[in-house]
Structure 1
Amino acid sequence: MDNKTSPSLLTLSVELIFRILDNLHESTILFSMRNVCAQLNTTTDAYRRYQAFTTLGLTNNHFGADGAQRVAEALRNNTTITTLKLGGNQVGDKGAQYLAYALRNNTTVTTLHLSTNQIGDKGVQDLADVLRNNASLATLDLEYNKISDLGAKHLADALRNNTTLTTLYLDYNHIGAVGVRYLADALRNNKTITILKLKGNQIEDRGVQYLADALKNNTRLTTLDLASNQIGTIGGQHLANALRNNTRLTALDLASNKIGPIGVEHMADAIRNNTTLTTLDLKYNQIGAVGAQHLASALRNNTGLTTLDLSSNQLEALGAQHMADTLRNNTVLTTLHLEFNEIGAVGAKHLADALRNNTTLATLKLGCNEIGALGAQDLADVLRNNTTLTTLDIFLNEIGAVGAQHVADALRNNKTLITLNLRKNEIDAKGAQHLGDALQNNTTLKILDLFDNKIGDKGIEYLAGALRNKAILTTLDLTSNDIGDKGAECMADALRNNTTLTTLYLQYNRIRDKGAQHLADALRNNTTLIELDLFKNNIGNEGAQHLADALGVNTTLSRLNVFLNPIQDGLRIHVKELVARNNLKGKS
């Protein structure tokens, strides 16, 4: 018998190896093609996609410490990867040690995401040791890692000398006042940290005092997140004292604490003359109408704050009135969140009246406030002539078809609104008809959210008519609207010639194989839709095959979700592969 030599990958031409690499995922190339031999390393290094491979995304793969070791080994010789996304992999302290060792000499990785990895204080110690000498890492994400005060101390010691790290995420760990004291002491000398996130720890008022003292002299920190930290009135006062002197902080998140009206009064006094803070998040802080009054008074003089979140603060109509009084004269606030405040139709009227004169507010969020059709009418009346508001969110407000008609009438003349959220408002088919008619004349609205509005097939017919004609919508959310095959057919007819819609959400509807076939037929001609979400309908193998056949022609759809439909695994995977092909073409 003749001795035959089995063909080897190394005997192939470079061009053939490149063609093989074309069909491999970047992580497969990194782990399986590199470090095999010098010849293959040289070929891989010359491959175009490998040279452009800057982000390694391996989130939620649960590969443990062994997987972290493989990543570390791949990093030792790699000179292209700048971002590592390794969250949710349970690497533990041992895996953190492997990665830390690889980063000692690495000079290209600038962003490392290690959230939800059970790293603990021991793993943090190894990473902190690296930070003392590493000269490239700029962002470190250590959220959800069971880090205590001891781990915070390790990081603080490293921060005293580190000159490159600018962003540190420590959300949802076990850091208390003692740990924050270590970090605060480090901030007095650190010259690079600009973003520090400590949401969901146990800092309390005492810990806030340490941070506030550091903020008085710190000239680098621009963003501080202290949400969900059991901070009360006294903590609010400490932060207020810091804001009087600090000239650098631009964003402060205090959501889900217990600052209350008195704590907010202290903060309001501080921001009267503060000119650097632009974003303040105070949602879920029990400030009430009294707290809103203090803030409203301060905003009359403040010239820096552009974004204010007062959601879920029991403001009611009186609190809305106080904010409205401010809006009449304030010339800097561009975004205002007042969701979940029970302001009612009366509160909506106060705000609407203020918007007649306001020339700066661009985003107003009033979700879940019981404004009803009457409140919608007052807001709609303002929209006819308002020239600054670009985003209006009034989800879950019981406006019904009548309220939708008021909003639709306003859209006929409005020239500035870009985003409109009407989800969960029971507008039904009649409300959809009003909106569809208005959209045929509107030339600015691009994003429309109609999630859970009982629109049905009849309502879709009206919206589809608008898409066929002059509507310029780019995103339409029709999730949970009792849409069946007939509604899918109407939407498909619109998609055949529509050249603006890029995102269509049809989750939680009643679309079956026939409806999927209609959509698939439309996709053969449509060249603009990028995302189609059909999650949790009733599409079977036949419908999935129609979609797969359409993807054989369509090269622009890069996101198609058919999860939780009764489709065989093999066919579902085939559809997923076709979408992935489109994704790859889009990146090339």
Structure 2
Amino acid sequence: MTNTAQPRKEGSSDFLSQYEHICALQGLVPLPAVRTSLKMGMLSFNADRLRLLDWVPLLSALRINKTLPSVSIRSTFQPSLQDTMIEKHKSYARRRIPAVTTKEVTIQLCKAIKGCLTTSTALTNLEFQGILLRGRDIMFLAKGLNKSASLVHLSLAFCPIGDVGLEILCQNLRSVTTLKTVNFTACNLTWRGAKHISTVLKYQAVKRHEEVWAANLRSRNADLEGMGGLKRVTFNSNPLVGDQGAHAFADSICDNLWLRALDLQLCGISSGGAKALLDSLESNATLVILDIRKNPLVDHSLMRAIIDKLNHNAKSTKSEFKWLSSSSLKDFFKSKQKRRTIILGSGRKGKATIRIGIPSKKPILTGRRYVPAKDFYVPDPPPGVPWRTAERAKRTLGEYSQYKKSRNKKIGE
């Protein structure tokens, strides 16, 4: 008991040593991707590559961590695209589905994050990207956020939490004074989710006004920049927010002196919602970023008026935030097609392999010379013709087509 507890106690101050120790106890090898990211001082990895057994030592070390400043876990798996494959090849498809999509892994992951947020005073950045979080998972995550004393940035981009999941988070987010930025890009949110966030902004604005009032009573100058609360809200790629959600945000930023950036790209906003946001800027001199790009229903004159007002605000205040690059779901899930190697078997001369990759644009060899495939048309063979006969006919037809073209060219000369 003592031999196991002592390294565990010492390892709690060093995530890498603790992770390696738990892997050694369970007879597992530490993942190279995890060790590589830890050398850079952060935990960042692709969850799709982890098996079920790989999660056990990782989550055990994460639960008692006290030194990691950043945790980033991402997944690009799309369950909707696998439905047809599951019906055709059920056994193969189940083997290919990552373990991070199961309920057992996600709930244990959120429990580990909750323990880390509760005990750690160094964790400032937490990112979940494309992770399927369910109701119970979000509840554990929200409890950890409520007890956090150091978290500054929270990102749940491409996590389909919906309005219900966001409501659970908002009940605990409003009391987290250290949190400055939240990112809910492509989280399947609607105008109801916008109202939940606007309620948090209003609640924090009231608390800050109370602090300013108390400082004035004591004849002190209130430190507006040093006050806790949200300073950037990112709501990109949620097309169901619409004008109703834009009105909710406009209502929350009217008298807000602390919010600096609000990102609303691809939110289905029209000129009506943009007009409400522009009117709210008349009484707001601190907001420097109001990003409503990629909303084609917004009139260009309104867009120009909003940008002019933001430029006027930026001259008077110096902001640490910058405009985000335009992003969408296609940009996130777009992956470069790579070659795959399939090993068929082994024999005397070695292993037989087949490489499957992007089809090349090389010409087709037809016998005498290389001829591009688009230069002639080869009809499909009629039913009942053997394949050798059909291939011979295609080759002969291709050669005849080239001969006919060269003859016509000579006649024309």
TM tier, smaller: 0.5 to 0.7
Aligned partner of 1:283 among 207, 212, 236? 236
**Distance (Å, rounded) in 2 between the aligned partners of 1:300 and 1:147:** 46
**Distance (Å, rounded) in 2 between the aligned partners of 1:198 and 1:128:** 16
- Counterpart position of 2:197: 267
Q: Which has the larger radius of gyration?
A: 2
CA deviation after TM superposition for structure 1 residue 310, in Å = 0.6
Aligned pairs (5 A) from 1:316-465:
316-345=270-299, 348-353=300-305, 361-362=313-314
**Residue 44 (structure 2) pairs with residue 141 (structure 1):** yes
CA deviation after TM superposition for structure 1 residue 158, in Å = 1.5
- Counterpart position of 1:168: 71
AA in 2 matched with 1:183: I
Residues 34 and 44 in structure 2, CA contact (< 8 A), matched pair in contact too: no
Aligned-residue Cα RMSD (Å) equals: 4.1
AA in 2 matched with 1:212: A
**Distance (Å, rounded) in 2 between the aligned partners of 1:221 and 1:357:** 32
Q: Give the TM-score taking structure 2 as reference length.
A: 0.52
**Distance (Å, rounded) in 2 between the aligned partners of 1:239 and 1:181:** 15
3-state SS of 1:252 partner: strand
Residues 219 and 248 in structure 1, CA contact (< 8 A), matched pair in contact too: yes
- Change beyond 3 A, Cα 1:141–1:180: same
CA deviation after TM superposition for structure 1 residue 269, in Å = 0.4
- Counterpart position of 2:117: 187
**Distance (Å, rounded) in 2 between the aligned partners of 1:196 and 1:331:** 30
Residue deviations 1:154-198 (CA, integer Å, cap 9, x gap) = 334223443321112211172664122332233222222111111
Aligned partner of 2:247 among 278, 282, 293? 293
- Change beyond 3 A, Cα 1:323–1:151: farther
Unaligned runs of 5+ in 2: 1-15, 22-27, 77-99, 205-227, 327-413
Residues 153 and 180 in structure 2, CA contact (< 8 A), matched pair in contact too: yes
- Counterpart position of 1:238: 168
CA deviation after TM superposition for structure 1 residue 303, in Å = 2.7
Residues 261 and 287 in structure 1, CA contact (< 8 A), matched pair in contact too: yes
Query: Whose helix proportion is higher, 1 or 2?
Result: 2
CA deviation after TM superposition for structure 1 residue 152, in Å = 5.1
Residues 362 and 388 in structure 1, CA contact (< 8 A), matched pair in contact too: yes
- Change beyond 3 A, Cα 1:224–1:159: same
**Residue 61 (structure 2) pairs with residue 158 (structure 1):** yes
**Distance (Å, rounded) in 2 between the aligned partners of 1:393 and 1:140:** 24
AA in 1 matched with 2:71: L
Residues 255 and 284 in structure 1, CA contact (< 8 A), matched pair in contact too: yes
- Counterpart position of 1:209: 139
Q: Percent identity of the aligned residues?
A: 21
Residue deviations 1:41-84 (CA, integer Å, cap 9, x gap) = xxxxxxxxxxxxxxxxxxxxxxxxxxxxxxxxxxxxxxxxxxxx
Q: Give the TM-score taking structure 1 as reference length.
A: 0.38
- Counterpart position of 1:30: none
CA deviation after TM superposition for structure 1 residue 358, in Å = 5.5
**Distance (Å, rounded) in 2 between the aligned partners of 1:387 and 1:279:** 15
3-state SS of 2:166 partner: helix
- Counterpart position of 1:411: none
Unaligned runs of 5+ in 1: 1-99, 106-121, 364-385, 396-588
- Change beyond 3 A, Cα 1:210–1:394: closer
Aligned pairs (5 A) from 1:113-132:
none
Residues 265 and 291 in structure 1, CA contact (< 8 A), matched pair in contact too: yes
- Change beyond 3 A, Cα 1:149–1:212: farther
- Change beyond 3 A, Cα 1:252–1:260: same
Residues 329 and 358 in structure 1, CA contact (< 8 A), matched pair in contact too: no
Residue deviations 1:260-298 (CA, integer Å, cap 9, x gap) = 111221111011133521221111122111011111111
Residues 250 and 279 in structure 1, CA contact (< 8 A), matched pair in contact too: yes
CA deviation after TM superposition for structure 1 residue 338, in Å = 1.1
- Change beyond 3 A, Cα 1:303–1:181: farther
- Counterpart position of 1:514: none
Residues 333 and 360 in structure 1, CA contact (< 8 A), matched pair in contact too: no
- Counterpart position of 2:362: none
Aligned pairs (5 A) from 1:526-541:
none
3-state SS of 1:141 partner: strand
**Distance (Å, rounded) in 2 between the aligned partners of 1:269 and 1:238:** 13
- Change beyond 3 A, Cα 1:212–1:151: farther
More deviation in 351-360 or 171-180? 351-360
CA deviation after TM superposition for structure 1 residue 315, in Å = 0.5
Residue deviations 1:19-49 (CA, integer Å, cap 9, x gap) = xxxxxxxxxxxxxxxxxxxxxxxxxxxxxxx
- Change beyond 3 A, Cα 1:207–1:393: closer
Larger RCO: 1 or 2 (CA < 8 Å, sep 6+): 2
- Counterpart position of 2:386: none
- Change beyond 3 A, Cα 1:290–1:350: same
Residues 128 and 154 in structure 1, CA contact (< 8 A), matched pair in contact too: no
**Distance (Å, rounded) in 2 between the aligned partners of 1:189 and 1:391:** 32
3-state SS of 1:170 partner: strand
- Counterpart position of 2:87: none
Residues 288 and 314 in structure 2, CA contact (< 8 A), matched pair in contact too: yes
Residue deviations 1:97-153 (CA, integer Å, cap 9, x gap) = xxx79x979xxxxxxxxxxxxxxxx6667988999xx9x862122135523676555
- Counterpart position of 2:158: 228
